[in-house]
Amino acid sequence: MGPQHLKRFLRYASKVFAFRALVKGYDDYRQHPQIAPAQVLLAAFWLWIFQWRSFNQLERRMTDPAWRHLQLVPGRPGSVDTLAYALKRADLPALRQALTAVIRRAHRTKTWAAGTVGRWCVVAIDGTELHVTRRRHCSECCVRRVGPPQAPRPQYYHRAVLAQLVGKPPRMLLDGEPILPGEGERDAGRRLLTRVLEAHGRWIDLVVADAEYAAADWINRVGARVWVLIRLKDRRFTVVQDAEGLLAGQPPLALWRREDGQEVQAWEIWDMTSWEGVERPLRVVRFREPSPDGVVREHLFATTCPRQVGLQDLWRCAHARWDIENTAIHDLKHHWHASHCFVHDPTAMEALLLIGLLAVNLLWAYTYRHLVPHGLRLSVSAVVDALVSGYHQLTAPVRWAIPHWDTS
């Protein structure tokens, strides 16, 4: 991959996902801004794409001669203080609309026509802690006490819930929602899934979640729109006790082998009605298989999926739930520095998260829908390295005349 890689990425994002139009159409809530909102959006976008660690590093890059090739509108880029000020007044609904537009465009181009797990489009939802500090705090900081019991100190942190397509790549991130002080992950997850299902519920088949979401009201609300698959851990639940009693001593209903040759055993019970408050009978499934440390473990799930979703498909969906931990939460924190608090302001943090999801989705789509089908078997990190190399090549005089935003 040569120095033209950055131009190819911009051309792909603009032609396939209308990224250029999304950027030029963005506005914020500043009055008579001297720095165009499009420049603010692009600065945060490149912060994510190039995996820069801080605003200070971004400010140094904005003084490079090459930076003008990354801008879409004329004018000076401004300082990071201006960028922070603009992000505090970001138009969050507009950013979410841009993110939704990218997902819808990917769906219209049949990115997931064959399904993400088997023939089903599966979404996972999970929460994570983003920023932690002992001093600076804002109105939406969650607070906990840490340290010795005789002298505990307050610790301020922010959490968020993410929704992601899991299974086959590109595993695009659909949306994110902050967890507010005093509420649980399930409350924020309910708001998040309401938006996601309103935007994409026509083609999403199944939502898979961990035991945090094992609540009757959550199953009723989400299960009215799509199928759900929930991990069951709490042995105090009547449905768990009844399922274990009914399955005790029963032979497995299905057997298959994983890719590593280890055997998986599966059981299921239909029409379970002992979960108080759940409005529809549930299907309870149990899987027994060796874990990576060699210990044979059992996992219990409750689902509203019909018979057409087989036991092996449910097992694949249950395992695909870990994709949101590995390819979303872990990568966002360790490669894209999502755990760094660039601006300690609720609106700015949410705006940066949404721009980050937009940037990562475009990068994943470019990698898995443009490069890999054309024979380039590259990892996302290799593509990022190529884009960074392309940016450094812009400093050479021979590259200055290249119109990187030209999509012709």
Measured in Å, how far apart are the chain's first and last C-alpha atoms?
21
The predicted model gives 153-165 an average pLDDT of 95
pTM: predicted TM-score of the whole model, two decimal places? 0.92
> Is residue 92 very low, low, confident or very high in pLDDT (cuts 50, 70, 90)?
very high
Percent of the chain residues topping a pLDDT of 90: 74
The per-residue pLDDT for range 305-320, each reduced to its tens digit, is 999 999 999 999 999 9
Which tens digit of pLDDT belongs to each residue from 187-214?
Answer: 999 999 999 999 999 999 999 999 999 9
Long-range contacts, 315-318 (Cβ 8 Å, 24+): 315/264, 315/266, 315/287, 316/117, 316/118, 316/167, 317/117, 317/118, 317/120, 317/122, 317/167, 317/206, 317/208, 317/229, 318/208, 318/229, 318/231, 318/287
Distance between CA atoms of residues 359 and 148, nearest Å:
42
Q: Output DSSP code: residue 180.
A: P
Give the C-alpha separation, 90 to 86, whole Å. Answer: 6
Locate 193 and state its tokens: 């899934």
Look at residues 332, 327, 103 and name the one whose alpha carbon lies nearest to residue 195: 103
Radius of gyration of the chain (CA): 23
Q: Is the pLDDT of residue 356 over 80?
A: yes
Is 60 exceeded by the pLDDT of residue 6? yes
Dist CA 210 CA 161 (whole Å): 13
Place of tokens 């505090």: 88
SS3 145: strand
pLDDT of 217-257, one tens digit each?
Answer: 999 999 999 999 999 998 889 999 999 999 998 999 999 99
Q: Taking 90 as the threshold, does the pLDDT of residue 392 lie above it? A: no
> Cis link prior to 169 (omega < 30° from 0)?
no
For the four alpha carbons of 267, 269, 274 and 276, in that order, the dihedral sign comes to positive
Q: What is the pLDDT of residue 293?
A: 80
265 three-state secondary structure:
strand
Find the length of the chain: 408
Tell me if residue 230 falls in helix, strand or coil.
strand
Task: Give how far the C-alpha of residue 324 lies from the chain's centroid of Cα atoms, to the nearest Å.
Answer: 7
